[in-house]
Amino acid sequence: MTKKEYGKKFRDLPDALSANELAQVLRVNVKTVYKLIRTGEIPAVRVGREYRVAKGTLVDYLRSNERKAGNKYVLSDNSSRSA
């Protein structure tokens, strides 16, 4: 998926996602998101007591893993996008 396609897919998301929002988008447990942040796999900025991940960082993460694994990620349109 191209960066432009991801941009269209994620246009309704906020520019900076919390760990909970990111977990919903990736359809993983929030603990997994914190592990990805802690290991540096997904760069994040700490704001107060919470972390924020830029939407562009999410796209870069998905695209890099897509290239490494040769897989295509399918994100359901049914996933919750409310913040």
User: Do residues 42 and 61 touch, judged by C-beta distance below 8 A?
Assistant: yes
Lookup: tokens for 70: 């040769």
Q: What is the DSSP letter of 70?
A: -
Q: Is 25 exposed, middle or buried (0-12, 13-18, 19+ CB in 10 A)?
A: buried
pLDDT at 8 over 60: yes
Residue 83 clears pLDDT 50, i.e. is over it: no
pTM, two decimal places: 0.73
pLDDT in tens, 60-79: 998 888 777 665 555 555 55
| pLDDT value for 57 | 93
CA distance 79 to 48: 27
Average pLDDT of the chain to the nearest whole number: 84
List pLDDT tens digits, range 9-18: 888 889 999 9
